[in-house]
A and B are shown apart, each in its own frame.
Chain A
């Protein structure tokens, strides 16, 4: 018998807590090595969730685009000094473009900063996709309710996720209908893809307003109002792993926030204690 996939070991509430805490933690960590290790660990979780090659390919595409985009833009537009020149694209003395642009170059410090940002973004992207792809909208709704999110808001979030694939499918249908009528899409004319997407907006919006109305009627007629006004959220009981995650992960995140604040206070001279030297060392290493 196969072991349960990683993404399905936890309940929706624990996953949401994990995601929320991670979004705080990655802001605190400034070490590229630690963030890279965290991303690798999350990728291992993603892989063990057995979500299929198609989704893995989507993740790889997102990862490549994110890292490339962040690193390139930050290294191109890095304004601070000192900075180390990696590659000069347009020398300041070049005719016409030189005086016009003031010179364009890639800088090592900018690339590092871009890498740091992209690793932060990637951590959230990988865990976010894992959560969404391993949790049904209904379970997500229950998880949000257990976190005391207002029912109407929780339902809106869950319903939006539920219908994302249908909306993507409808966008494909609109573009296909245009192509059948002779609209030409060619890789050599990328703007036509954008124009085609623009043309999708009106029919998709119209279709989804109608769908939203119908869905609202459907849930209203199934006692949605009664649940929305109920004080307590009725949901399936959570397991030991869920409870552990909901206790330990927020506590660890709070400790991380505390450590970062103490470290900053020590660096700025506001507060220093010899007894906390080990903490400062640890913060230096991982934060």
Chain B
């Protein structure tokens, strides 16, 4: 189905090729996983196969790529060419319709299907992904996981010959991943040709016939899934998740950090919430009432399914939303309808999309912005900015525009810019989304360092249980706006019912490739 010979792709303005001398074959009806660290060339491979590389962005393209016997660059819109469907990482950026029905109908109308064929195709595709009868539901009302399913339905409606899925699990919670895996199993049973590009080896490898590992644009390894367990060093070498990092007990549970020991007597809380509540509109989502305390130096991981209230809680603590009821004290001051003016100096916040945090024209200006807004005085502004640049290894990039940096560098800059000038409470919304294991680990290490060195309380939300286990001492679980658990990380990991409630999946322990898993063909749903 797919034949790639000596493919090299370089983008304009980039020193390294995105893909280097890649040769690969994908047979019709096979299910292949392409994995590797962030920036290894997975997305470029997807865009090449879909004929979506734009010439104006390319500095060099060499080699041959064919899909179903047609040159890949010519398959879009060419009569008789095989159909290639692409599911991108972020569903919000690929959905164009106002309702679910319109979204799925878009492709069918493009190929000139009759109104009846469009209606039939829409209902069949929605049924395939578990959205039956939701034709008139506005896309904006769907959760992230359901949007991903809708985008998949829009592809399946066109009955593509080749399906390309780019990081399909990165934006969805445990139940969403479980539904997606169910759908992928159905596609596998239909003998569809599928290429999945993902860091999530543990979940996806058991579904695949073959795994290819890319690193810095090169094909590092290619193996039958059943042979994967012989090569754990391969995954460690490129910093992507091995099927599982087991604890010393060997029971398949994440390693829990135990670096935090509360001082005695405990310092006054930096956050004190009593009956804290919030509601969106009259009939909208309601959070709370919640009661909890956070003390300096604590590292808290906030878990919960999509739409469970994690971002709302972080927004309340950051002063972005005002509490509807209850009491909220931050750094000893009560937060009412107005967020106390001086509190910005105590709280640092990094949003889920760090790009929206960056608004200055240089990296140096970005890290100096908070100390300047806090009116720390010219000398202190300069010294704080220098310290942040140095600590987050950004000094060599200080004159660059923030948007000229790589994704990992921008994430680091957003964190540096948020904490420059000091903070007693750091709030980070989904810091691990879309990051490979190395990047996520490095970021969470920095949060831990901040908690340890500056005695700041660090509070982050995530779906990544494995990464959080090593970076948090305490866990909070929010589901349906209610606090379902507040306790030590280790206790959460031992409670399967709680993990299910938190929308978390315990990754499989070295399951990829094992014959038992191959027979079952499923991931473990907790």
Which residues of chain A have a CB within 8 Å of any CB of chain B? 136-139, 158-159, 162, 166, 170, 173-174, 176-184, 199-200, 202-203, 206-207, 210-211, 214-215, 217-230, 234-237
Contact across chains for B418 and A181 when beta carbons are under 8 A apart = yes
Q: How far is the CB of B37 from chain A (nearest CB, A)?
A: 21
Question: Contact string, B323-352, partner A, CB cutoff 8 A, digits 1/0?
Answer: 000000000000000000100110111010
What are 28 contact pairs spanning A and B, CB under 8 A? A137-B97, A138-B96, A158-B96, A173-B353, A173-B356, A174-B356, A180-B344, A180-B347, A181-B348, A181-B369, A181-B370, A181-B373, A181-B374, A202-B403, A203-B357, A207-B355, A211-B93, A214-B88, A217-B50, A218-B93, A220-B50, A221-B84, A223-B76, A223-B107, A223-B111, A225-B77, A226-B111, A234-B109
Contact across chains for A223 and B77 when beta carbons are under 8 A apart = yes
The 8 A-B pairs with the shortest beta carbon distances in the complex, nearest first, are: A225-B77, A136-B98, A182-B373, A218-B94, A222-B107, A227-B110, A182-B344, A214-B93
CA separation between A180 and B339, bound complex, in Å?
10
Query: Which residues of chain B have C-beta atoms less than 8 A from A170's C-beta?
Result: 356
Contact across chains for A178 and B359 when beta carbons are under 8 A apart = yes
Q: How far is the CB of A206 from chain B (nearest CB, A)?
A: 5
Q: How far is the CB of A238 from chain B (nearest CB, A)?
A: 13
Question: Which DSSP category, helix, strand, loop or mixed, fits chain A's interface?
Answer: helix
Given A180-B349, A222-B154, decide whether A162 and B356 contact each other with a Cβ distance below 8 A: no
Contact across chains for B98 and A162 when beta carbons are under 8 A apart = yes
Contact across chains for A182 and B112 when beta carbons are under 8 A apart = no
Q: How far is the CB of A57 from chain B (nearest CB, A)?
A: 15
CA separation between A211 and B356, bound complex, in Å?
13
CA separation between A210 and B57, bound complex, in Å?
13
Q: Of the candidates B102, B318, B320, B374, which one forms a contact with A182 in the assembled complex, judged by CB atoms under 8 Å apart?
A: B374
Question: Contact string, B68-98, partner A, CB cutoff 8 A, digits 1/0?
Answer: 0000000011000001111010101111111
Q: How far is the CB of B90 from chain A (nearest CB, A)?
A: 7
CA separation between A177 and B95, bound complex, in Å?
26
Contact across chains for A180 and B50 when beta carbons are under 8 A apart = no
Query: Which residues of chain A have C-beta atoms less than 8 A from B107's C-beta?
Result: 222-223
Q: How far is the CB of B96 from chain A (nearest CB, A)?
A: 6
Query: Which residues of chain B have C-beta atoms less than 8 A from A234's C-beta?
Result: 109, 112-113
CA separation between A210 and B90, bound complex, in Å?
11
Chain B residues with a Cβ closer than 8 Å to the other chain, count: 62
Q: Of the candidates A136, A158, A174, A217, which one forms a contact with B99 in the assembled complex, judged by CB atoms under 8 Å apart?
A: A136
Query: Which residues of chain B have C-beta atoms less than 8 A from A180's C-beta?
Result: 318-320, 344, 347-349
Name, among A177, A206, A226, the residue most crowded by chain B CB atoms within 10 Å (CB to CB): A177
Contact across chains for A215 and B373 when beta carbons are under 8 A apart = no
Contact across chains for A177 and B97 when beta carbons are under 8 A apart = no
Q: How far is the CB of B331 from chain A (nearest CB, A)?
A: 14
Q: With an 8 A cutoff between CB atoms, is B67 at the interface?
A: no
Q: With an 8 A cutoff between CB atoms, is B378 at the interface?
A: no
Query: Which residues of chain B have C-beta atoms less than 8 A from A179's C-beta?
Result: 319-320, 344
Query: Which residues of chain A have C-beta atoms less than 8 A from B370's C-beta?
Result: 181-182
Contact across chains for B109 and A137 when beta carbons are under 8 A apart = no
Contact across chains for A200 and B359 when beta carbons are under 8 A apart = yes
